[in-house]
Structure 1
Amino acid sequence: MSSVKPQILIIEPFYGGSHKQLIDTLIDSLNLTDYELFSLPATKWHWRARTSALYFSQLIPPEHNYKVLFTSSVLSLAELIGVRPDLVTCRKIVYFHENQLVYPVREVKKRDCQYGLNEILSCFTADIVLFNSNFNRNSFLDNVQPFLNIQPDFKLKHIREKIEKKCEVLYFPIKFHAFPNKRRIVNVEVDVDVANLEQECLHLIWPHRWEHDKNPTLLVEVLLELNKRQVNFKVTICGEKFPKVPEAFEGIQEKLGAKLVNYGRLSREKYIETLLTGDIVISTADHEFYGVSMLEATYCGCYPIAPNKLVYPEIYPKRLPIMKLKLLYTSYSVKILLNVYM
């Protein structure tokens, strides 16, 4: 066993999905002796955000040679440094996959402000704060003061100014080179006849986490309306699935029948294979800060249809030739979304 102590401490309280993908990409470029990774499974997010700092404080060895600490914003970095002051000398880097200041909640009064406060305090504690998109960075900074104004008295001021200089954008790294070179490359100005799309069996793909902020209700409304209109399509509903299935998905298998060709999480191999056979990748999200699965599907030859808000105008800018097909919609009405498809 090597006596060399690692200099990089990596902490991921929610080791799944894009969080896991980022960490795995990061450590692929490191030697085993360079880093030490501490993680927790990607379940029970609220408890990970609340208690992981205390949990990891007991796991991280008291004798170490760490020079860099890298973690996601799920960890309350301020709490960790508070109970483990020996880590304060590390170069502390926090990566924001999302931010809680603008996380959609069903009722504003039920928003748990502690998660947002933890993120703000983590920014104070960190040396570098990284965001996966300009939209993520700007939405966080723009909402720091409105979020803090929820406090009824003793208003906090000048918080944004104190953390903004630390904030940078580092786009999420996607290993496109790992995808098979079998994707369809289409000249959208020459080869695509939108008017003829309804004559083909379109393979629609919805590859998102099965939670309310991805708006599965809208997806189901659209699919049932397409089915009602006898549109020739098939659909894959995949992405990260949790024990509690969204209410909107109840009975969807019976309602769509054979048109629902994939339902549930796919293996990585099957996922890529499915993307390569897709025609359109759909987002109905109310909450999206980067869109890894959308970009992966687009790379594999699927045409993206997404809201004209959140991060999507950033990852699908107007200057792209593909945008001639008007792939960003501005309304959540079924009628407009159907018009985009048709």
Structure 2
Amino acid sequence: MSEFLSQSGLLKGVKIIDTTINLPGPVAGAILGMLGAVITKIESSSGDPVSSSPALYRTINGMKNRIRLDLHNPQDKQEFLRLVSEADGILVGMRPTALAKLGLDYEILKAINPKLIYCHVAGFPKDSKKKGTPGHDLTYLAESGLLSTLFSDLTKVTTQPADMTGALYTAIAFLSGLQFRNSTGTGTSIEINLYESPAILGLIPNHDNRLSKNLQGDQICYRVYETADGWIALGALEEKFFNSFVQAIDHPEWMGKGDKLAEPGDEIFEAMKKIFKSQPSGYWVSIGAQHDVPLEEVRSLSPSKEFSLPYRF
């Protein structure tokens, strides 16, 4: 957890109950916890499936107060409702029928705490024909058209865009609800669905096919090149960066030609491939630093317990 953020106290005193499992809701709770909120995670006797990966579970939930409650048990249910009555907000993630059956739907909890900010992380939106349909990240991406847009190999989907963007939107929704409550004195209910959440990742290809192609790594100035010991990413989209780079490698005659397609047989492209492969990645990173060119080594993710936000205050 980011110690800087946890000590900044931006949400100091805000109490949030997290009843969600898996990824979207719990990650949203972690984000809000990093901003200073006190997060109480309620888990059933079966726990959270993510606990099968202890390191990931601790990263997402380690900063939360965790309580086991069986909401079918009257005594545990009363303790849960007591917590709701004292909370600023709650994160729920079940389908509407399950929420109603457990007494977790908004109307019931609003009667207990009218100032409650209720964030429901759903699969499909409540005004769609697929409302209540079960799903996971892969199926939301498939239905939205983003699976084939974001991944060239449909058999290797290595990230969870729907879950993670859903988590971000949930945190934003809660902050918006908090502002609304502070302005009006009343709580609110907000639904965040995982089907529409990752749409922002397809914003460019959906609106500008030309720009999308420019950004997919097909230009000489904007692509990944093999080096003597790995790979380097050249991000010289702006002409000034590309011109600076080609001057640094003693090829000023290539200035202004970075937007050419990186096609096999192209004289500049073939030459650049050879030049990059002649030196290790570290050398090219140093060239970038010396000449103000976006050049970064392609690294692998390293195991980390750190989960922080890209904010600085």
Is this a same-fold pair by TM over 0.5?
no
After TM superposition, the score normalised by the length of structure 1 is: 0.28
Q: Which has the larger radius of gyration?
A: 2
After TM superposition, the score normalised by the length of structure 2 is: 0.30
